[in-house]
Structures are given as structure tokens and as C-alpha cells.
Amino acid sequence: MQKNRNIQFICQITENFIKVIKCISKGSLKREIVGLEIETVAQDTDDKKLTDNLSHVLQRLGYNNNPIILSLPRSQVTCRNLKIPSAAPQEIERIVNLQASHYLPYSTDELITSYQLIQTDKEGYSNIILVI
């Protein structure tokens, strides 16, 4: 069981390829690569097909709910540290969705957002990391 927790997957998704590396942690900074899969992605691939392709690649490498590091093209992703005037998760979610379109030139319905709460202060403000 301990060995399974030391396995990590690193996925890179580009317009033409899905690349997945399977590695094992051997200490705080040491990693050993134990598997690599590369799959070509057709230009007209939709999100469902891309998800299916990634799932098959992970299966071939023996994925079992291990941690995944996902690498996306930086022209399509941004990360921001924000201080938001709320501590309630529902309010933070609404604020995050409103702020997202200010950082990338796409409409709100085209963006996928996520955030991680860093801390909440006594005045009710939250520091978050916003990923769009």
C-alpha cells in the first residue's frame, strides 16, 4: 500500500499529443521514471474523445487513483493569487466565476475555474489561488 502512494503520474496535453509519465518518489526530491506513454491526438478531437484517450493511456500505465500533475499549454491557463471579501464557499465560487473572464480573453461559459483556499482572516477575507 505504501508503494502505491509513492506513484505519481505527470500528464501533458497539447494540440497533437497526450504524454503521460509514471514515476515513483524516492525521497523528497528524487523521482524514478517507470513508464511513459505518448498518444497522438487528432485535430478534430472533442472533449469526450480526449478524455477517453487519456483514460486509456492511464489504464495502460496502471493508474489506481494516484496523484496526477497536469500540464496544459500556458496560453490557455492562468493562475492568480486573490484576496476575496468572503469566507463562504458558495460566495467564493460566485466571485471566482465573475473574476475569471477578466484574466483570459474568453467568455465565462468557455472557462473552467478552480481555486484553493489558502487562509481566511478575522475580517472575513479569503486568500485563494485561482486557476482558470
Mean pLDDT to the nearest integer, 106-119: 84
- What's the chain's average pLDDT? 85
User: In whole angstroms, what is the distance from residue 59 CA to residue 92 CA?
Assistant: 35
Give the closest residue to 18 by CA, choosing from 54, 52, 69, 71.
Answer: 54
List pLDDT tens digits, range 82-92.
Answer: 899 988 889 98
**Burial label, 9 (beta-carbon count in 10 A; 0-12, 13-18, 19+):** buried
Give the closest residue to 121 by CA, choosing from 81, 83, 80, 79.
Answer: 83
Strand order in the sheet with 114-120: 79-84, 126-131, 114-120
